[in-house]
Amino acid sequence: VLCSTFGLACFLGTRVFGLDRKTSMLIGAGSSICGAAAVMAAEPVVRGRAEQVMVAVATVVVFGTLAIFLYPVLYHLVAQYRLFDLSPTAYGVFAGSTIHEVAQVVAAGRAVGEQAANTAVIAKMVRVMMLAPFLIILSAYLSRSSAKDADAADGADEGNASPRGGVVIPWFALGFVAVAGLNSLALLPHAVVTQLIDIDTVLLAMAMAGLGLTTHISAIRKAGIKPLALAAVLFVWLVCGGFAINAGITALLN
């Protein structure tokens, strides 16, 4: 789901909707991994501008919020008309692997039941764990792409050598993996972990506020309807394509 969603975002964003590559990648990162956190984590890697980040975050908020209400409705419709064999556990995996934000996943899961919510959170955490390797691979790809562009420029103008862009190592992503591993060992008391999570929430809110202070509404308005249209297509893919992928994997395992 992650790879297909991000690839679809890059292709449709640049080829169909005429968006720049950075905006397409940021929207794709937010839709495919973990919402606003993924957008902000990808920003230094793709070297996006503040308004591009804000547009991508806005799309995550809009369609992630829509998913909170849509997914439980779909579950009850499927159960009522017996369209598919969708258990609470299967629904949890589906929700966790396709909804944007962790909080949105929890809300959509709890609307069905505790079992669905627990499964959804586990599935979502698997996606979140993919953030670090995703950023490293994306950084390597962009660095290689920049090197090819520089070689082409050097070939056209041999007198002026173009600077090569190095791989942007997302140290915070490596720190994320380290902290996740430390938390998995359960070395810290639960009270300390709870306080750290509260601090994390405050820091993320401060980062979002800082992003808003550097962004003008006119820049978002200038982006037009195309980013929302791309995010809408990705949302449809997450619902329909994500369900098909989950159903296919389940069929292979059973």
Confidence of residue 181 (pLDDT cuts 50, 70, 90): confident
Q: Who has greater pLDDT, 133 or 211? A: 133
Q: Who has greater pLDDT, 5 or 211? A: 5
Q: Record the tokens describing residue 182, joined without a space.
A: 């430390």
pLDDT in tens, 72-128: 999 999 888 887 888 899 999 999 999 988 888 888 898 999 899 889 988 988 888
Distances from the Cα of 239 to the Cαs of 1, 63, 97, 126, 242, in angstroms?
A: 10, 11, 10, 18, 5
SS (H, E, C) the chain: CHHHHHHHHHHHHHHHCCCCHHHHHHHHHHHHHHCHHHHHHHHHHHCCCHHHHHHHHHHHHHHHHHHHHHHHHHHHHHHHHCCCCCCHHHHHHHHHHHCCCHHHHHHHHHCCCHHHHHHHHHHHHHHHHCHHHHHHHHHHHHHHHHHHHHHHHHHHCCCCCCCCCCCCCCHHHHHHHHHHHHHHCCCCCHHHHHHHHHHHHHHHHHHHHHHHHCCCHHHHHHHCCHHHHHHHHHHHHHHHHHHHHHHHHHHHHC
Cβ-based neighbours of 232, under 8 Å, separated by 6 or more = 63
pLDDT in tens, 147-165: 665 555 445 455 444 444 4
Q: pTM of the prediction? A: 0.79
44-48, 72-76, 156-160, 195-199: least confident range: 156-160
Q: Who has greater pLDDT, 128 or 239? A: 239
22-31, 90-99, 157-166, 244-253: least confident range: 157-166
pLDDT for 186: 81
**Is the predicted pLDDT of residue 40 greater than 60, yes or no?**
yes
pLDDT for 51: 84
**Overall average pLDDT of the 210-231 stretch:** 74
